[in-house]
Structure 1
Amino acid sequence: MGPVKENHRVDVVAKSEVICLLLPHEKANLISPASTWSLARERDGVPGVEKVLQLETLEVDLYRATSYPGYPASGHVFGGQLLGQALAAASKSVDPLLLVHSLHSYFLRTGDLNEPIIYQVDRVRDGHRFATRQIKAIQKGHTIFFMMASFQRPEEGLTHQEPMPSAPNPEELMTGEELQESYKTDPRIPIAYRNKLLRRKVVPRFIDSRPCNPDDRVRPTAMEPRAKIWFRARGQLSDDQALQRCVAAYASDLGFLPVAVRPHRDAVGYATRSLSLDHAMWFHKPFRADDWLLYVIESPCANNARGLVLGKMFTRNGELVVSTAQEGVIRVVDKSKVTERSKL
């Protein structure tokens, strides 16, 4: 009987370990209080972007989130916020051993910064290696954003990637805030734009973004529809890989669609309005979003008041970790300023 009892005891221990590993993410704050799954929004030392991604659990698969007051200045919810928060909601509903590998989303209505956002998760499928989630973002009873996300358990397979393009070191570049400050006092910049910057409320930016080849604000000129941007989250994020991917989703919408306007700057200047229509991401390898990532963006086409942009994120040591795609509406505000179609 001794050996039988011993085997029984070992079986119980093994089952207990499996149960611990399969804790849903809404309980994960018991393990990592400072992670994105914690409700301690005012905790000192938690990076701003991590606070924005924190969700309040209303019931199973139903969450509430808020926006940072005053950002962006348009008064509409930032698209990256919807991406990051929706992915955070979906991540709470899957086995923590599964990580998001792709997402496809649509922006249906503009969001109101002053209204809370409800995220509703539908567990479409749960398999051993893959899981699928549908997420809706709701404001005032209307769906403003829709996402489908697929999660995968890590496994071995074939691997290859294209090389990382050359780029200056991020330490050599000006931050987005430094560029804005330089514009305010540059007499070559149109006075209307300088006054607009001076009137704009200063709000903290959660992502340190440093463009390698920023647009020319002094004299708008046509540029190739390509851009390189170094970025990283400000502050140290918790180690949760799900959080790292949510932060990358948040940052992926920064400076993305404007690349499609670059070939036309000589004709339209900055008199355009853009609105994201859809957004897709593919996650290839683990990474840290609080370490430098190079965002390489190109726009292969713009037509019918829509622009398409494609992006790739590389770690500093050259690993391709994320690919992105987005289409958006781009309209010229004052068509009288259009003088000639760009040749690029």
Structure 2
Amino acid sequence: MTANPAERLVDLLDLEQIEVDIFRGRSPEESAQRVFGGQVAGQALVSAGRTTDPGRPVHSLHAYFLRPGRPGVPIVYQVERVRDGRSFTTRRVTAVQQGRTIFNLTASFHKPEPGGFTHQLPPARQVPEPESLPSLADEIRSHLGELPEEWELLARRQPFDIRYADRLRWDPREIAEAEPRSAVWMRAVGPLGDDPLVHTCALTYASDMTLLDAVRIPVEPLWGQRGFDMASLDHAMWFHRPFRADEWFLYDQESPIATGGRGLARGRIYDREGRMLVSVVQEGLFRAV
């Protein structure tokens, strides 16, 4: 096992092919109660991408988290070749662990072609440059004095540098006044190589890390004792432009609604020049503990 967290992420996304259209992914033994959803989504997309023409990058994915995965137990990804058309390729992936389906993903791949027009929405607001912001671990240390041992271990294993554009809120009065919005700068903590599929799957991994923050911001501190048990229910992404996940990208996030124990979050990912790279939508389950 390599020591660098970015190298570990690349290794995690390097699936073992055990049969035609069947792949096996590692699931590291960690203290978490369930496998991180971004890991399963990223590995599932790798398995789909390994069965398609490299000249057709993924343009969208739609996924459901069906059961929590168990850390330390391998996950098998079964790929169904739904369609191979002149311009589009479709793959359906079922993730199985210990004989039970834990995740489903459908991904569509598109042969690049010229478009007749182009437009995009800019980021919702101007934010500081990432170099001027503290890392997530440093910001938590500034409030708590030091990270709890479990958080310190997590910070050392974290494959992405995360920097919140807004100061984290700890005071209940600040939380009550907060809007359900969040913006973070992110990038892999080290080089990820030059395979575009690895960068796409690494960003898919990262897209599940902070998106539901936007739902929680008006309710409780993002870091500390949680009042809710939280789980991702489904996840959808649209990839608009090529990118590198080891270069800074801005994840602009908002939650338009939370009700009935579920919260919806939307995210737009931009590069440093303000070009929109990816759109993300996710719904999460929130239960009081």
TM-score normalized with structure 1 length: 0.77
Query: For residue 208 of structure 1, what is the aligned residue in structure 2?
Result: 161
Query: 1:308 and 2:264 equivalent?
Result: yes
CA RMSD of aligned residues (A): 2.0
Deviations 1:116-153 (A, max 9, x none): 00011100000121000000111010000000000000
Query: For residue 237 of structure 1, what is the aligned residue in structure 2?
Result: 192
Query: For residue 280 of structure 1, what is the aligned residue in structure 2?
Result: 236
Query: For residue 48 of structure 1, what is the aligned residue in structure 2?
Result: 8
Query: For residue 59 of structure 2, what is the aligned residue in structure 1?
Result: 101
- Give the structure with the larger strand fraction: 2
Q: More relative contact order in 1 or in 2 (CA 8 Å, sep 6+)?
A: 2
Q: CA deviation at 1:43?
A: 9.8
The one-letter code matched in structure 2 to 1:67 is S
Contact 1:49–1:207 (CA<8 Å) still a contact in 2? Answer: no
Contact 1:184–1:198 (CA<8 Å) still a contact in 2? Answer: no
Q: CA deviation at 1:46?
A: 6.5
- Give the structure with the larger helix fraction: 1
Whole-angstrom distance in 2 between the partners of 1:214 and 1:321:
25
Query: 1:172 and 2:132 equivalent?
Result: yes
Query: For residue 162 of structure 1, what is the aligned residue in structure 2?
Result: 121
TM-score normalized with structure 2 length: 0.91
- Compared with structure 1, are the counterparts of its residues 216 and 140 closer, same or farther at alpha carbon in structure 2 (3 Å cutoff)? same
Contact 2:2–2:8 (CA<8 Å) still a contact in 1? Answer: no
Whole-angstrom distance in 2 between the partners of 1:95 and 1:240:
13
- Compared with structure 1, are the counterparts of its residues 217 and 44 closer, same or farther at alpha carbon in structure 2 (3 Å cutoff)? closer
Query: For residue 296 of structure 1, what is the aligned residue in structure 2?
Result: 252
Whole-angstrom distance in 2 between the partners of 1:287 and 1:116:
29
Q: CA deviation at 1:180?
A: 3.3
Query: 1:181 and 2:141 equivalent?
Result: yes
Whole-angstrom distance in 2 between the partners of 1:57 and 1:42:
21
Query: For residue 248 of structure 1, what is the aligned residue in structure 2?
Result: 203
Give the total of aligned pairs: 280
Whole-angstrom distance in 2 between the partners of 1:258 and 1:183:
19
Whole-angstrom distance in 1 between the partners of 2:192 and 2:278:
18
The equivalences for 1:63-142 within 5 A come to 63-70=23-30, 73-142=31-100
Contact 1:296–1:312 (CA<8 Å) still a contact in 2? Answer: yes
Contact 2:5–2:158 (CA<8 Å) still a contact in 1? Answer: no
Question: Is the deviation greater in 101-110 or in 167-176?
Answer: 167-176
Whole-angstrom distance in 2 between the partners of 1:185 and 1:245:
36
Contact 1:206–1:233 (CA<8 Å) still a contact in 2? Answer: yes
Deviations 1:319-338 (A, max 9, x none): 001000000111222xxxxx
- Compared with structure 1, are the counterparts of its residues 46 and 211 closer, same or farther at alpha carbon in structure 2 (3 Å cutoff)? closer
Whole-angstrom distance in 2 between the partners of 1:252 and 1:115:
23
Contact 1:47–1:234 (CA<8 Å) still a contact in 2? Answer: no
Q: CA deviation at 1:178?
A: 1.6
Whole-angstrom distance in 2 between the partners of 1:313 and 1:291:
12
Q: CA deviation at 1:214?
A: 4.3
Q: CA deviation at 1:62?
A: 0.6
Contact 2:214–2:254 (CA<8 Å) still a contact in 1? Answer: yes
- Compared with structure 1, are the counterparts of its residues 64 and 249 closer, same or farther at alpha carbon in structure 2 (3 Å cutoff)? same
Whole-angstrom distance in 2 between the partners of 1:100 and 1:60:
20
Q: CA deviation at 1:182?
A: 3.0
Deviations 1:185-232 (A, max 9, x none): 27xxxxxxx7xx235561411011111124313546221000000001
- Compared with structure 1, are the counterparts of its residues 148 and 178 closer, same or farther at alpha carbon in structure 2 (3 Å cutoff)? same
- Structure 1 residue ranges without an equivalent (≥5): 1-40, 187-193, 334-344
Residue aligned with 2:175, SS: coil
Deviations 1:16-75 (A, max 9, x none): xxxxxxxxxxxxxxxxxxxxxxxxx759896222112110110111111112332xx423
Whole-angstrom distance in 1 between the partners of 2:168 and 2:16:
39
Contact 1:49–1:233 (CA<8 Å) still a contact in 2? Answer: no
Query: For residue 14 of structure 1, what is the aligned residue in structure 2?
Result: none
Contact 2:6–2:159 (CA<8 Å) still a contact in 1? Answer: no
Q: CA deviation at 1:264?
A: 2.4
Contact 1:225–1:298 (CA<8 Å) still a contact in 2? Answer: yes
- Structure 1 runs of 4+ aligned residues shifted over 4 Å read 41-46
Q: Which has the larger radius of gyration?
A: 1
Residue aligned with 1:263, SS: coil
Whole-angstrom distance in 2 between the partners of 1:201 and 1:163:
35
